[in-house]
Structure 1
């Protein structure tokens, strides 16, 4: 049933656009009740987000052998999801809905963002274990450095994002994360922040 709901949501976004999409349309075409949809998703925006951008389970982080390689693999995965026409339609609506709905915002933080930050935590742990980082850094900061920059490029600045830019974003995030780890783990105990 989950697959059918998400597949139908993607089809309808392609056909009518996100703004014209309704939960009723999805329920009718998928052959499910609206209650079944609302048991899974708190809103149309959440349902569309899962269908087009971000399932709640992400593949495990790649272990390419370097922090830069791991971050590049991750940003390429997210770019493939975030750059679709459906995601470009959805992102502004979702941001608006999150701003006006604290319950949805909390759910979004506790599910999707927590999953993404767990992926960053895994990448950081691998880099620390390899000796690339002086110690761990806050996964939320790593998330902001890489995926926050990608989201800004795609949704706010409307920049043409190609693989060269993705490589540059991974390089900048690698440098930032490395600098944070060095600063946080070489400073006196009283000066450490964000670890």
Structure 2
């Protein structure tokens, strides 16, 4: 086990929340100023006014530090409950769009590349990030089935991909403007509901299949 990992696993006096806050603020500021690739543990320590040892007691690597700061208690941690599948998924999509458009350019692709290169970090990412998303989506789907909006329960992992993938592609593969995200998410919501078996709400006066021959 590395010295960094040992430091993380050692007991000792309770951590000072002021140091945690200083490190988190320094990470966010430096990501905005120098970007993901040029951010260093030493730079964060200097900006936060702490020793590097204080950082290594909390985060084993630069990637873990950024991951912990940016995902702590955020992004689909709580399932919205607005009374319908459409309203709940609209809230989810708004949160996805905001969380992906907010970080500095290049931060999310760089972090994800490093996460997938490190099995330990990938496991943490799956448990803390993807796991939380899919639990949230499963809760939303459970309520939709209970309300009779869905006849079957779609796979939360597939729904997760349907919601997150296009937003990621729009911002980071196609380099399109975040200003167009509302239009994208509106179209994405209709497509997702259709695939899930719950189409757009009927227009006033629409009698559905009544009268069909």
Q: Which residue of 1 aligns with 2:88?
A: 70
Q: Which is bigger in relative contact order (C-alpha 8 A, separation at least 6)?
A: 1
Q: TM-score, normalised by structure 2?
A: 0.73
**Superposition RMSD on alpha carbons, in Å?**
2.1
Matched, 1:167 2:167: no
Moved more, 108-117 or 98-107: 98-107
Deviations 1:38-63 (A, max 9, x none): 444443233324444x3344452211
- Trace 1:1-195 onto structure 2 (pairs within 5 A): 1=17, 2-52=20-70, 54-57=71-74, 58-86=76-104, 88-160=105-177, 161-178=180-197
Runs of 4+ in 1 over 4 A off after TM superposition: none
Give the unaligned 5+ runs of structure 1. Answer: 180-195
- Normalized per residue, the structure richer in helix is 1
Give the unaligned 5+ runs of structure 2. Answer: 1-16, 199-213
Q: TM-score, normalised by structure 1?
A: 0.80
Alpha-carbon distance in 1 for matches of 2:188, 2:64: 27
Alpha-carbon distance in 2 for matches of 1:175, 1:35: 52
For residues 32 and 135 of structure 1, do their structure 2 counterparts lie closer, same or farther at Cα, with a shift above 3 Å needed? farther
Alpha-carbon distance in 2 for matches of 1:130, 1:115: 23
For residues 36 and 128 of structure 1, do their structure 2 counterparts lie closer, same or farther at Cα, with a shift above 3 Å needed? farther
Larger radius of gyration: 2
